[in-house]
Every structure is written in structure tokens, then in C-alpha cells.
Amino acid sequence: MMALALVLIPILAGLVSFATRSNHLRRAILVGIAVVHAALTAATWIVRPQAALGGWLQLDSLGLVFLSVISALFLSTSIYAVAYLAKEQTSSRPDFEESFLFVNEPEAVFVGCLLLFLGTMTLVTVSHNFGLLWVAVEATTLSSAPLIYFHRHHRSLEATWKYLLICSVGIALALLGTFFLASAATTQTGHSIPLVLGDLITNAGSLHVPWLKVAFLFMLVGYGTKMGLAPLHSWLPDAHSEAPSVVSALLSGALLNCAFLGILRIGQVLTASGAAEFANGLLLVFGLISVVLATVFIVDQLDFKRMLAYSSIEHMGIMAVGVGLGGLGSFGALLHTVNHSLTKAMLFLVAGNILGHYRTKSTKLITGMFGDLPASGILWMAGFLAITGTPPFGLFQSELAILRAAFDGGRYFVAIVLLLALGTIFVGMAAIVTRMLQGRPREGAMAHSTSEAAASIIPPAVLCFAVLVLGIYIPSALNDLLLEAAKLLGGHL
Amino acid sequence: MNDLIGVIVVLIIMTNFLLLAAGSLRASVRIISLQGLALGVLPLCVHQGGLTIRLLFIAVLVIILKGLVFPRLLMRSLRESGSARAITFYVGPIASLLIGIFVLGSSLWWGYVLPLPEATPYSLAIPMVFFTIVTGLFLIVSRRQALMQIVGYLALENGIYAFGVFFAQSESMLIELGILLDVFVGVFIMGVMVFHISREFDNIETSQLSTLRDWIHSRNDAAAKKDGR
């Protein structure tokens, strides 16, 4: 029941907000639902909910890791979003890059879609039926597309169209993969195993392995498109740079993970049927390509939101590599998921502050942030250190775990590529970030609204603090949960 | 029954060729609705365990959605966008047809060599599925208008749905309804986006949608420096 409630409450609230007229009431609903969702998620840490709908909805430890991340991010971004929406002009206004006039999407659509987005992402984390999982992942695409088109102008239109089309086509291939899985689950006698994770794993011996592999390949390509694995990532930088920063934070921190979870689920079936080698090899290849490609685009990147977007591709690649390595790598990948989501959401929220103040996304035009925006400046610096895996932040721990798994497993090539890429990205991002932070503010640059609102500083600050804590001390409850989840992925530590 | 299935499968293959050859947007929408209708009838013929209420319900729903609702939606956004009626191509109709013949040929070969977990009595089923999927993907990349990309997406989805009809009958009804709902909402949102594209650019050519790239700002920055900003 609990799992069902977690999914249905945000969806119903989303539908209500479409019909709500008062802006204040709608914003109250947004934060209220975020709090309720977080509270329910916290409750599931204490009492794991029963399976519902005949085992279709089930919250296992793997799902709980992803659900917790989504819930925490949504809570912090919803508070930020309320402040953001209050500041947004509703009448038409000039675009800051090309100075044509545009208007925003109605706020009812925006808030409603945010809540639907939360509901559908929750559904992804609790789905144990592969058909339902597909429906949920596609639903996240559909509910988030209007969010990217919040500022109605030609650039966001382009980003939304690419997102919608590329992800829908990609995910359609995942549906084909799901059907392949269904035919792999049909035994010679004509008896078919239901597409429920538990049933597939217990009957893994009687699955048709070649078809299972084809199913994995299609689902990897399908969900991988959405996850942003190179070379299927082409929608990602555009969508992240044109969406409002609140939405970018959720896309990067929560949505990409959902697609990753889809890949992990089919990976579980492959592992159970003894084809783990095949799955892991593919994950390693896609992961390394992503990391290398992201490195190329991060260095000397001219748009700081695109820089963060490519950094997401990099980290998705690292996670794929971690799972591909198995064992300690799986544990590291899951820890990395948590760390990356918190850090990246925080960075996008700070990027929103920067964009709001300087009205440009160009990394070349911004200098002297420490003087103009001291709080955001410090958070930007901390976020940069965290995302590049500098100790004592959490990402250092998780990247170390993945690298150790590579060295222990004798995968020296993987380890060296990762180390080289991480080093290059550190230098590349450092050049951009320090240039933005230091120096004198540009002459005549923005005398307006210099005060930084608490609601736009506290959410990213809290996230940043969480990543810092995770780097120093992983609470035993989280550690146990991650270990249990890594075991589900076939990682025996 | 098998004869009827053969007729439907051939009909779907024909609609793919028509889609590849079509020169007008309206015709393409009509053809894709015809394909949807054929697809809606398919599960009624393929069923093995007898005609159930569930099967009938899904079939009627698919016929209504793919045969009537989607074409209506597309026709409406075509009308509202008030843009040109003729398709603009990256790859022209003749070349598209030749590619189509090649794809069908290789699909036939694929259907012949692919080891299926369960034997199917319909030898043309697998080639038809592959051909439809590839046609959809090809339409998406080879036509310039956003509307044609939706048509391509629908063809892709039709192909995948046909595979499900032949080889994944055990899917439960709730999932099928969920998939249909997703596709419906997807096409609806895409239709709305086409309307916005036409309002923004006065046409629905996707070549307009190519300003976002990585090095665009270098140009802006250079311009800004020149202006002395």
C-alpha cells in the first residue's frame, strides 16, 4: 500500500495543481507534497513496505536507494522552486541572450508537471514488472518535457523537441527489448514466465539466453539514451542548458538515475541467468566512451550549464563502469549515484543563482563572483571540488572504490582511462570555475538584486553539506542499504 | 485465419512503402492511420486461446487510437500550423523507396536466419516487424518536417507493437493500457510542440532547430567584445 501511496499522492496532487488557480496555494501544495513524500520515504527506511499489486510494486533495497535520492532532491528543489517562481516575471520579457520577447509557460502547468514527474519517477523505483517499468520511464519523459519548455522561446523549444523525440525513440527501443525479454521468458513448452523481476530471477535457468542478451542490448540502448550514455547522449546538454535550473537539477540528479535503474534491473536478470559477463562488458564500453567524450567537451566549455551537463554524462559513465566492474565496483557505483545526485543538483541550483544574477551562461563573461555573489561563489567552489572528486567530499570515496575495484580486478586499462579523464576534467573545470570566481567584477555588470535570497542558498548549502558528510562518514544504515543493494547486483564483497 | 493474417501483414508492408513514397503530409497521416487500423485488427486474428473480452477491448482501443485519434490530432496540428502541405526531404522518395526495398530484403533474410525461441507459423511476421521499425526510424531522420518525425515515431511504435502481438501475448492488460496511454500522451505532446514550432518559425521544418551546440557562445562572445559591452 505504501508503495502505491508514494506513487499516487504526487500524481493526484499534480492533477489538482493543474486545476488550482491560486499561485500561493499551488506552491504550498508543491512543498507540502515534497515534505509528505520525503516523510513517507523516510518511513520506508524503518518498515519496508509490503509488495503490492501481485508483486508488481515492490520496494527493494536497490529501489530504496534511488527513491531516497529522488525524494531528498525533490524536497530541496521544491523549496528553491518556490523562491524561483516568485521571482519570475509572468508578463513577456526580453531574452537575455538574444533579447527577443518571450513569456513563461503557465505556472499551473509547471507545478503540475513537477509533481507528475515526482510520481512517475517514484513509480520507476518501485516497479518490479518490466512492462510497468517501461511505462513509468516513458511517463517520466512525457511529464518532464513541458518542464524544459518553461521559458517559451526557440532555444527551449529546440531542446524540448530533441529531448522528446530522441528519448521517445530510444525508449521505444527499450520496449522492443522488453518484448524480446518476454519471448526469452517463453519456454519450449509454451509456458511463459511473468515479466516480474523475482519470477525471472528464480526461473533464470529456463530463460532463453541468446534472446535475453538481445533484450539487454535493446534495453541498454533504450534506457541508455535517457541516461545519457555516449554516444546516445545528444539530447542531454541541450535540455540541461535550456531548462530552468530547478528542472536541470532534477533531470540530472534524479531522472538520469531512473534510466540507470532500468538498466540495472535487466542486468539483475542477466546476472541470475549466468550472462553477467556480457552485460558487464557492454556497460564498461559504454561507460568509458561516456567518460572520455565528456572530458573532451568539458575542457574549455563556454556555457557553464552545458559544462554541468557534460559532467553528468561523465558521472553516468563512471557509474556504468562501476557496475560493469562488479563486486566493490557495484557498491562504489551506488554510492556514486547518491553522491553525484546530491552534488549535481546543488551545482545546478547554484548555476540558477549565477544565471539569475549575471543573465548569461557564458563562462567567459563572468568574473569576480566572490565579490558579487559571495554565498553562491563559495558554494560554486565547493561544488566544483566535490564534483571533481576532491577529498573530503563523498565523490572521492565512491570514485576511489570504483578505481580500487578496477585495480583489484586487473582491469588496468579501465583504471588508467578513468584516472586520466578525471585528472583532465579536474584541470578543465578548475580553469573555468576559478576564472568565474576570481578577479574583479566586470564593469557595469549588473547592479541589480545583489542580495542572495535565503531560499536560493539554503537548499544547495544543505545538499553540499550532505555530500561533505558522506565523504567523511557514511551512516551505518546507508552503508548497510548500499551493501544489500550491491548484493542484488551480484556484487559479493 | 492464417490467410487473413497474411493479408494484414502484406498490407502493413505496403503501407510502409506508401509512407516512403508519399509526397504530401496529409497523405502520410492517412497512410499511418491505415497502418494503425490494420494493426488493430491483427491481435484478433493472431489469438490462440480464443476470442476474449480482453482481446476485443484492446483491439477496439487500438483501432480508435491509432486509426482515428492520432490522425485527428496530427491533422489538427497540421491545419493549425498552416504550413506547407508538401513534405520536404533530406532523402527523396525514389531513393527512400530503393532503401525500403533493400531493408525489406534484408529483413526477409533476418527473419530466415534468426533463431526464435518459439516457432511461429507466420513466416512474414518478423520481416514485417523489422521493416516497419526501420521505416519509422528512417522517416524520422530523412524528412525535414517535425510532423513527419511524429509519423515516423508512430511507424516505429507500430512495428514494436506488432512484435508484441506476435511474440509477447502474455503481457497483461494493465501494461498494454499503460503503453497505449504513454503513446497517446506522447503523440499529444508532440502535436502541441509542432504547433509551437510552427508559431515560432512560421513553418515546421526541424532544420530550424539547430542553434544549440557547444561552441555557439564563442560567436556571441566575439560579437559582445566587438560591441564593447
Tens-digit pLDDT profile for residues A129-157: 999 999 999 999 999 999 999 988 888 88
CA distance B98 to chain A (A): 24
Residue of B nearest to A177 (CA): B160
The helix (run of H) or strand (run of E) holding residue A94 is strand A93-94
Structural domain total, chain B: 1
**A172/B214 CB distance under 8 A:** no
- Give me the residues paired with residue A101 across strands: A94
Cα A300 to Cα A359, A365, B178: the distances in Å are: 20, 13, 44
Q: Please identify among residues 134-163 of chain B the ones whose CB lies closer than 8 Å to any CB of chain A.
A: 137, 140, 146, 149, 153, 156-157, 160, 163
**A302/B215 CB distance under 8 A:** yes
Q: In what order do the strands lie in the sheet with A93-94?
A: A93-94, A101-104, A151-152
- Domain residue limits at B65: 2-227
- Domain residue limits at A366: 276-493
Phi-psi region of B50 (alpha: psi -120 to 50; beta: other; left: phi over 0): left
Q: CA–CA separation, A319 vs A270, rounded Å? A: 18
Classify residue A394 by burial, with Cβ atoms within 10 Å: 0-12, 13-18, 19+: buried
Cα A388 to Cα A334, A431, B182: the distances in Å are: 17, 13, 38
**B167/A146 CB distance under 8 A:** no
**B196/A184 CB distance under 8 A:** no
Band (B53; pLDDT cuts 50, 70, 90): confident
The least confident of A18-32, B40-54, B100-114 is: B40-54
- Bond into A392 cis (ω within 30): yes
**B186/A297 CB distance under 8 A:** no
Residue A88 is predicted with a pLDDT of: 80
Could you read off the pLDDT of A341-370 as tens digits, one per residue?
999 999 999 999 998 888 888 888 888 888
Does pLDDT of B50 surpass 70? no
Reduced to 3 states (helix: H, G, I; strand: E, B; else coil), residue A53 is coil
Asked if residues A394 and A471 have their Cβ atoms less than 8 Å apart, the reply is: yes
Residue A180, domain member (yes or no): no
Residue B146 is predicted with a pLDDT of: 87
The rounded percent of chain A whose pLDDT value lies above 90 is 65
Residue A221 is predicted with a pLDDT of: 95
Residue A53, domain member (yes or no): no
B221, B225, B83: which is closest to B147 by C-alpha? Answer: B83
- B202 and chain A in contact, CB less than 8 A: no
**Least CB–CB distance from A157: residue in B118, B168, B196:** B196
**B133/A306 CB distance under 8 A:** no
Asked if residues B87 and B148 have their Cβ atoms less than 8 Å apart, the reply is: yes
Question: How would DSSP label each residue in A1-31?
Answer: -HHHHHHHHHHHHHHHHHH---HHHHHHHHH
Could you read off the pLDDT of B124-152 as tens digits, one per residue?
888 899 999 999 999 999 988 888 999 99
Residue A19, domain member (yes or no): no
Structural domain total, chain A: 1
- B54 and chain A in contact, CB less than 8 A: no
The least confident of A159-163, A368-372, B198-202 is: B198-202
Band (A465; pLDDT cuts 50, 70, 90): very high
Could you read off the pLDDT of A206-219 as tens digits, one per residue?
888 888 999 999 99
- B221 and chain A in contact, CB less than 8 A: yes
Q: CA–CA separation, A161 vs A243, rounded Å? A: 12
Q: What is the mean pLDDT of residues B179-194?
A: 89
Please report which residue ranges of A55-188 form alpha helices under DSSP H: 61-87, 107-126, 130-148, 154-184
Cα B183 to Cα A266, A321, B65: the distances in Å are: 23, 32, 10
